[in-house]
Structure 1
């Protein structure tokens, strides 16, 4: 079964320090049809914000976070539906996951400084 990477920012066990604005931007994006790519597949060579490339993959931790927090799960996001169509993950991979944040509030309280 597909898993988030070991240092995914959506995993409860991983400690990230994001500005409140950045954390809100991430939540705003994934709940409004924007893609969120795995940090391991983004090119950071020219910017701390990173550049998505043709090799970038969607963040599976974000997929599971949406499964945990949104009624329609990741299928509520057009870009994540495209990920399903491109076989980045399968419907059978979708599930509630206790290792991933269970609410927007929990995510914001844990990852912001």
Structure 2
């Protein structure tokens, strides 16, 4: 995994419509040592929320978002550090990525729908 998928919620060119609660939950998770998995690798067959399986992969868009926004980057999250140790992605793959949101404010401004 070396780039976010083309419809990653952290990709600025994608227009998501998340509830404010869901957007805040995602940011809360990735800044508090929880994993955030790529939506393409989560099983949504039984629920709208989805189920993480043994085949689920970490969201590379979230990895890059943390690199862009948080001191310590993705290594500030224990689950993403584990992803590094398990070679799910490599530090060499990480870079400042302009296609991914550059701040929490920008993410919330763009992905939250206005009812």
TM superposition score normalised by structure 2: 0.97
Residue 66 of structure 2 is aligned to residue 66 of structure 1: yes
Residue 99 of structure 2 is aligned to residue 99 of structure 1: yes
Three-state SS of the structure 1 residue aligned to 2:51 is coil
CA apart distance, 1:95: 1.3
Three-state SS of the structure 2 residue aligned to 1:47 is coil
Q: Which runs of 5+ in 1 are unaligned?
A: none
TM superposition score normalised by structure 1: 0.98
Size of the alignment, in residue pairs? Answer: 113
1:51-91 Cα distance to aligned partner (Å, 9 max, x none): 00000000000000000000100000000000001111001
Three-state SS of the structure 2 residue aligned to 1:12 is coil
Question: Which structure 1 residue ranges, 4+ long, deviate > 6 Å from structure 2?
Answer: none
